[in-house]
């Protein structure tokens, strides 16, 4: 008897694709914090217990690359950078609210 294998990659399962986008040590927490307001790097570093500059930078860059976060350089003194959800990222807010209701 042969068993049929089912593909479970992001091409055939949207949930798998979403999990891949948000997988990583700090990504879900960054996303949660970015829902309400733009965030500065140092603010994120303080709010996310146990994070460090290197791992936080990597997570932010990856969220930018997949189009969930955007980085804006604010040209005032002192110069600073803010991260906020993109339109694509905002589309995920209702999904997370539904997941939160289930838990």
Interval 12-25: pLDDT, tens: 787 787 777 777 88
How far are the Cα atoms of 16, 47, 84, 88 from residue 64, in angstroms, in the given order?
19, 20, 10, 11
Q: How confident is residue 10, by pLDDT bands cut at 50, 70 and 90?
A: low
The domain defined by 14-102 folds into Arc Repressor Mutant, subunit A (1.10.10)
Q: Where are the domains of the chain?
A: 14-102
């Amino acid at each position: 008897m042969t068993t049929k294998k089912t593909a479970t990659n992001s091409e055939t399962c949207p949930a798998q694709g979403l999990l891949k986008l948000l997988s990583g040590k700090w990504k879900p927490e960054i996303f949660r914090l970015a829902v309400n307001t733009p965030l500065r790097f140092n603010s994120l570093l303080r709010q996310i217990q146990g994070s460090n500059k290197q791992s936080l930078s990597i997570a932010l860059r990856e969220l930018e690359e997949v189009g969930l976060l955007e980085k804006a350089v604010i040209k005032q003194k002192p110069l600073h950078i803010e991260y906020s959800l993109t339109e694509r990222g905002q589309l995920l807010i209702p999904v997370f609210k539904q997941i939160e209701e289930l838990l």
